[in-house]
Amino acid sequence: MSTLWKKTYDWIDERVHLGDLVEFMGKKYVPVHRGSVWYYFGGVSLFLFIIQVLTGILLLLYYKGSEGLAFESIQFIMSKVAFGWLVRSIHSWSANLFILAAVVHMFSVFFEKSYRSPREITWLTGMLMLFLGLGFGFSGYLLPWNELAFFATKVGTDIAGVVPIVGKPIMVFLRGGEDVTGATLTRFYGFHVAVLPGIFTVLLGIHLLLVQRQGMSEPLDVEKAGAAERKTMPFFPNFLLRDLLFWLLILNLLAILAVFFPWELGKKADAFASAPAGIQPEWYFLFMFETLKLFPAKVWFLDGEVLGVMLFGVAAILWLLVPFWDRKSARGEKNRAINYVGLAAVLYIIIFSILGWFM
């Protein structure tokens, strides 16, 4: 067996020089410190994304992205296709866990100031992937064409429409018209399975390449410590095996969630029906939704909702550009203000998400 393995390895090595890669992997080390556990969330996000792609491809075999057939095709997948229920449930649950893992990963990077030079591009690509992940969630939510998704999309695209000047054209572009119709479903389907994955793959490639090229970032205090005090572990096989262990635990969690809490389908969307009571977006949009609800109708001369949406836009841009305005961290100095901002953001998101869930 080992001879066969060696023969295969040699055959490939002869053609693509695997030896260089193995040598590179062998020399690659991952820092070990009190915050090392956060490194795994990047890998977990990647694992969940891979599951998304695989289950998504399987769903594509049966899903029909049109107003008249979308709901029925999901119903068919859930009830008739062998293990269709499992594939759909895992796709839905892994989508949610992906957002959660990506958010945790983003905050860990934020608090460790790992975005500082020279990893600005890694941060930018990561943040853009997080935004795309939210886009995946928003577009995928409509695809079953059920009542809840229909009205949530209506509300979501309405919110996009309040942005001055560009809001209305964006809303019409997203909806494929003035209202949420079959045209919106077709568009969202296209975004979900072609446009977003295409962009995401490019960003993911750059992101992973940079992580490999630049290595893992170390916290400031670890970086400043002497070489003797700095601990590391080999990327291959130690870190990769630990990553694998995490992935197995996540896989187990996914299986349990998919079986015990299968993703419901609800009622088919009906444009003429009144909106169901207690309609709310996916949990990761809840804090924004709740904030907009609590905003006063008018703030000075501005419409409250417009102001809210604009503030979120400004906050997102500031967050995205943090490597460029946090000069202290870039210089290798401690910046407590960033920690306070991050902590306030975490508390705000948690509190408003809870409020949105129960109110």
Partner 1 sequence: MKKPSWISVAGLIVGWCMVVFNARAGDQCATCHGTLGDKPSSLFRKDIHHLKGVTCSGCHGGDATSDEMERAMDPKAGFIGVPKGDAVSVACATCHSNADKMKAWHSHLPTGQLELLQASVHGKLSTTGKEHIAQCTTCHGAHGIVSVKNPASPVYPLNVVATCAGCHSNAVYMRSYNPSLSVDQQEKYRTSIHGMRNAKGDAKAAACASCHGSHGILSSTDVKSAVYPAKLPGTCSKCHSDAEYMKGYGIPTDQYDKFAKSVHGIALLQKKDLGAPACNKCHGNHGATPPGVESVSKVCGTCHALNADLFSASPHKKAFDERKLPECETCHGNHEIVTATNTLIGVTPEAVCSKCHSEGEFPEGYRVAATMRGLIDSLETNEARAKSLVGDAEQKGMEVGEAKFKLRDVHQARLEARTMVHSFNEGKFRDVVGKGLAVAVLVGQEGQRAIDEYVFRRIGLGIATLIITVVAIALWLFIRRLERQQQLERTTT
List the beta bridge partners of residue 268. Answer: 146
37 lies in the binding site for partner 1 (CB under 8 A) = no
- Give whichever of 248 and 299 is closer to partner 1, judged by the CB atom: 248
Q: Give the residue, chosen from 9, 173, 261, 357, that forms a contact with partner 1 under the rule CB under 8 A.
A: 261
Region from 44-52, 117-125, 262-270, 310-318 binding partner 1, contact rule CB under 8 A: 262-270
259 lies in the binding site for partner 1 (CB under 8 A) = yes
* Residues between 112 and 141 with contacts to partner 1, criterion CB under 8 A: none
- Give whichever of 173 and 261 is closer to partner 1, judged by the CB atom: 261
50 lies in the binding site for partner 1 (CB under 8 A) = no
- Give whichever of 8 and 79 is closer to partner 1, judged by the CB atom: 79
- Give whichever of 51 and 124 is closer to partner 1, judged by the CB atom: 51
262 lies in the binding site for partner 1 (CB under 8 A) = yes
Name the minimum Å distance from CB 252 to partner 1.
5
265 lies in the binding site for partner 1 (CB under 8 A) = yes
324 lies in the binding site for partner 1 (CB under 8 A) = no
- Give whichever of 21 and 249 is closer to partner 1, judged by the CB atom: 249
54 lies in the binding site for partner 1 (CB under 8 A) = no
* Residues between 212 and 251 with contacts to partner 1, criterion CB under 8 A: 233-234, 237-238, 241-242, 244-245, 248-249, 251
* Residues between 72 and 101 with contacts to partner 1, criterion CB under 8 A: 75, 78-79, 85-86
Name the minimum Å distance from CB 76 to partner 1.
8
User: What tokens does 103 get?
Assistant: 């958010």
Residues near 321 by beta carbon (within 8 Å), at least 6 away in sequence: none
Name the minimum Å distance from CB 181 to partner 1.
23
Q: Give the residue, chosen from 50, 256, 279, 302, that forms a contact with partner 1 under the rule CB under 8 A.
A: 256
- Give whichever of 172 and 265 is closer to partner 1, judged by the CB atom: 265
Q: Give the chain as a 3 state SS string.
A: CHHHHHHHHHHHHHHHCHHHHHHHHHHCEEEECCCHHHHHHHHHHHHHHHHHHHHHHHHHCCCCCCCCCHHHHHHHHHHCCCCHHHHHHHHHHHHHHHHHHHHHHHHHHHHCCCCCCCCHHHHHHHHHHHHHHHHHHHHHHHCCCEHHHHHHHHHHHHHHHCCCCCHHHHHHHHHCCCCCCHHHHHHHHHHHHHHHHHHHHHHHHHHHHHHHHHCCCCCHHHHHCCCCCCEEEEHHHHHHHHHHHHHHHHHHHHHHHHHHCCCCCCCECCCCCCCCCCCCCCHHHHHHHHHHHHCCCEECCEEHHHHHHHHHHHHHHHHHCHHHHCHHHHCCCCCHHHHHHHHHHHHHHHHHHHHHHHC
Q: What residues line the site for partner 1 (CB under 8 A)?
A: 75, 78-79, 85-86, 233-234, 237-238, 241-242, 244-245, 248-249, 251-252, 255-256, 259-262, 264-265
